[in-house]
Amino acid sequence: MQISARNVFSGKVVELVAGAVNAEVVLELKNGIKIVSIITKNSIENLDLKVGKEVKAIIKSTSVMISNEKDLKISARNILKGKITNINKGVVSAEVSLDLGENQILTSLITLNSAQDVDFKVGDEVCGIIKSTSVMIGL
């Protein structure tokens, strides 16, 4: 699969909870990290998703927020702890790479002002925050 999204993670479906319209899909990466996605029930059927099936979690870098708060209380379902390994600053935005462990890199694209206000540095322990509705599932 070729796709423009910066974040594509392989994992196995470990839980499916279907509602009337939407469904919650929980997938586990090889390093044990779990990612939650909310997709339509119709998508579950179209992708023939079942517990144990190998899938891809696809997350645009613009959908990843970063926080250096340790005990963050937030409604987003995906709070992934990692270490900043790279910051590429442009004129308007900054691309921040987080090492989640075992070669799993999460990339975030944030405004340059935000990166400067928080003063992120390579080596900082931070959290990548992703709403479950921002996680696409692919095969």
Q: Which residues contact 110 (CB under 8 A, 6 or more apart)?
A: 65, 66, 93, 94, 96
pLDDT for 101 equals 93
Per-residue pLDDT of the chain (139 residues; tens, 9 = 90+): 788 888 999 999 999 999 999 999 999 999 999 999 999 999 999 999 999 999 999 999 999 999 998 788 899 999 999 999 999 999 999 999 999 998 899 999 999 999 889 999 999 999 999 999 999 999 9
pLDDT for 72 equals 81
Q: Residue 69 in 3-state DSSP?
A: coil
In 10 A of CB 52, how many CB atoms? 8
Whole-prediction pTM? 0.93
Domains of the chain: 7-59 (2.40.50.100), 61-133 (2.40.50.100)
- Rounded to an integer, what distance in angstroms lies between the CA atom of residue 6 and that of residue 19? 29
pLDDT for 91 equals 95
pLDDT for 37 equals 98
pLDDT for 94 equals 96
